[in-house]
Amino acid sequence: MRKKIVAGNWKMNLDISEGIELATTINSHFLTSPLEGKEVILCTPFIHLNAVSAIVKTAGVSVGAQNCSNHKSGAYTGEISASMIHSTGAKNVIIGHSERRIYYAENDSMLAEKTAEALRNNLRVIFCCGEVLPERESNAHFDVVKRQLENGLFMLPEDDFRKCVIAYEPVWAIGTGKTASPAQAQEMHHFIRGLVEKHYGTKVAADTTILYGGSCKASNAAELFANPDVDGGLIGGASLLKDEFCNIVKAL
């Protein structure tokens, strides 16, 4: 079913006590202001997952990781498996964030393995796609997003695909303060839904949740979320600020 979701990606920020404090205040906020069908996901650093999962008990709020290994288990020093993530109580995982693709050279085939491994371990996948600035400037952005989705996600059978959320994050808008315009976001989200329709049919396309990410904040969230194909946001910097984050959720 298509959902309305605001996911916070804390990235590599907050020590454990700061993480616990933020999760506690967000959890209490949604206890007193119920989400009424919307969902909130807190994607924390790995070491916070267990503690934050124990705190987050409000209906509609869940926890996610920001990455997982493509391997099941074994001699992969420093890696974290999908089953370990699941064992913390986390229910979601971000796969294919541009910072993983760019800084850690994660390619489409590795991301396809990560996605499959996450799904095997009952995690919902938030699969990221998005172009860098030169690709947009050369009008290659649709081709780039199509390739990322075809190689990383559309190999899934329908049942598995339905357990995934897509996040469109134009790389030029991440952490830059430069947001995609509502029209640019809608144009790409509509294109993505069309791709889903081609691969899985009209019903699955209508049910697919597509989030926007990239300098989304309380002041621009409402105009982005007003678009018919934008089902919520994946929020970086603003997810570290309790009031800002809760106001983004309110705008959905």
| Contact predicate 179/214, CB 8 Å | yes
Residues 6+ apart with CB under 8 A from 43: 7, 8, 9, 10, 63, 64, 65, 66, 92, 93, 94, 126
Identify whether 18 is a catalytic site residue: no
Nearest CB to ligand 13P, comparing residues 157 and 177: 177
Report the C-alpha gap between 165 and 167 in whole angstroms.
7
Instruction: Quote the least distance from Cβ 251 to ligand 13P, whole Å.
Output: 14
Q: Which residue is nearest to ligand 13P (CB)?
A: 236
Instruction: Quote the least distance from Cβ 102 to ligand 13P, whole Å.
Output: 11
Instruction: Quote the least distance from Cβ 86 to ligand 13P, whole Å.
Output: 21
Most distant pair of Cα atoms in the chain: their distance? 48
Phi, psi of 250 (to 5 degrees): -60, -35
Nearest CB to ligand 13P, comparing residues 67 and 186: 67
| Contact predicate 189/205, CB 8 Å | no
Instruction: Exactly one of 48, 97, 141, 189 is catalytic; name it.
Output: 97
Nearest CB to ligand 13P, comparing residues 60 and 237: 237
**Site residues (vs ligand 13P, CB under 6 A):** 9, 97, 169, 174-175, 213-216, 234-238
Identify whether 97 is a catalytic site residue: yes
- Catalytic residues, by residue number, are 97, 169
